[in-house]
Structure 1
Amino acid sequence: MGATARTIALDPHPPVFRLPRGGESPTRGSPAVAYHPRRKASSLKPSFITPADYIDISRKTNFVIEFPVSKRGPGISGIFYASHSPPGLKFVNIRFPDYSRGFLYYHSDSGAGPLEGSIRFRLTPDNSPSSFLSGQDLLAPSGFPWQILLAQVACRDKFAFIGEQLVHENLVTREQLSRCRDVFSPHEHIYPQYTLFRLDSPFLVNFSSPVHLTVVGEQLHRVGMSNLFKNQTLGEKAYFPWTGSGIARFERSTLSEHAGRRMLNLRIIKLLQPVTCAVDAPSYDGRVMRPEEGQLFTLRFRGGRPEPWAYDIDKKSKPAAALRVLWDNSCLP
């Protein structure tokens, strides 16, 4: 008999309602119906995957995975896509999207730090390992990559068998997992879309909300920028002039006036939800200019002169101290 897989859950809330087929809405009092198609995977290393590692999780509420080094666990549950709470109901697990077919694998960027890395799902048109490179990673409902961070693998007992497989394949070391546990509290809520390791780490932004980030260094640092996307005119209450969301990253400023200083800009890498003006658009001439995909986030200064938003990380503030960690992690002078 094969070893029984241990639990993997991306959301702390267990499924309470079944999401019926055909797009029906969940109903109050529906019994929890678990569906756990059990899968085996020989490797999490992209260069070692085989056609047998190809899985189809389309429209599944969750699935179970098993590795060669998996040990018998206390029970069976599954990997969840995401969950949400409809008005008046408890949390409901969302099904994996249509055409969710491909390979589960370990992702690590070149130049990644020792605590970086994540489990992702690569969408491919067929089961040929050669299609891996031309595939795309599955996205979460937010538009950010669906993933389980290495820190989550290290800090959650239910993810321990994933860590064992990663160590078995020399993708990570036990020291890396131990270091993750030292930095991240076992009770810490870890949000991949807001966790930054280096200056170029992408993160999710909502243009009508404050920005809250976690920076990973020798310890965790919290970054709160409540006014980043706010507009404020003298004598008026501050407000968010734009709605929409996107993926952004910090960048070292290359502007001539910042030469010799440690200044950061913010680039909007990709728009996920369309940007719309939340005020009377024809009359809006505020400080916060419309976020544009691929462009630096820009502010309008006195006289209407637009300039990229810039932040001095050498000033005395908690956000500056955290952003200095990103600068140092990126080995910038």
Structure 2
Amino acid sequence: KLHIPYPENAHGFYYFYKPSENVPKFAGGIRFRVCSSPDPENFQDGYDLLGNSGLPWQLSNFALAIEPFYKPFGEELVRNGELKPEVLEQCRELARSAKLLHAPHQTVVYALKQPFPMILGQATARIWVANEKRLVALTLRNQVLAP
């Protein structure tokens, strides 16, 4: 994994992202919104910081539930009512059932039209597929631009 620096002279806000109502409870996490100034009034005019994949950078609810360094952030979100404790427990239970010691680094797909990164020319791509009861690793064969 490559380190992604913040854009030079970036201003912005960390915020808790909750997807639409029709997604599993475990979806969402902390994102960073890049804004033109440190004024909260500019939040709506900003854009989410993107990761190497081109998708928004995010500390997933799985990371907030499982990773020791990020657990205090998850606990604070529960204390201030942004996140229900059962969401973090569900993330821990899904990770346990998948025998994960750490949060998934690859995209967790939970909807049919949900985008996920796939590097052209790379033989395989790994994603996680999940619903409310199960989390499974899926390795996709990539024939696009195969050598």
What does residue range 1-333 of structure 1 map to in structure 2 within 5 Å?
A: 84=2, 93=3, 95-111=5-21, 112-185=23-96, 187-192=101-106, 194-209=107-122, 210-217=124-131, 218-226=133-141, 228-230=142-144, 240=146
Q: Residue 158 of structure 1: SS of its match in structure 2?
A: coil
Higher RCO, 1 vs 2 (CA within 8 Å, ≥6 residues apart): 2
Report the AA paired with residue 195 of structure 1.
V
* Secondary structure at 2:89 match in 1: helix
User: How many pairs does the alignment contain?
Assistant: 141
Any gaps of 5 or more consecutive residues in structure 1?
1-82, 85-92, 231-238, 242-333
Q: 1:136 and 1:116 mapped to 2: Cα distance?
A: 20
Preserved CA contact (<8 Å) 1:212 1:223: yes
C-alpha contact (below 8 Å) 1:118/1:149 kept by paired residues: yes
- Are the equivalent residues in 2 in contact too, given 1:122–1:136 (CA < 8 A)? yes
Q: Which amino acid aligns with 2:115?
A: P
> Which residue pairs with 1:311 in the alignment?
none
SS at 2:70 equivalent: helix
Question: Residues 99, 139 of structure 1: CA spacing in aligned structure 2 closer, same or farther, 3 A cutoff?
Answer: farther
TM-score if structure 1 supplies the norm length? 0.39
Letter in 2 for 1:172: L
User: Which residue of the partner structure matches residue 271 of structure 1?
Assistant: none
Q: Partners of 1:172 and 1:132 in 2: how far apart? A: 21
Cα separation, 2, equivalents of 1:189 and 1:196: 14
**Helix, strand or coil: the match of 1:97?**
coil
**Contact residue 100 and residue 138 of structure 1 kept, 8 A:** no
Q: Which runs of 5 or more structure 2 residues have no equivalent in the other structure?
A: none
TM-score normalised according to structure 2 size: 0.83
For the aligned residue pairs, the C-alpha RMSD in angstroms reads 2.1
Spell out, residue by residue over 1:132-161, the C-alpha distance to the aligned partner (whole angstroms, 9 max, x if none): 111101112332211110011001122121
Structure-2 separation of matches of 1:203 and 1:196: 7
> Radius of gyration: which is bigger?
1
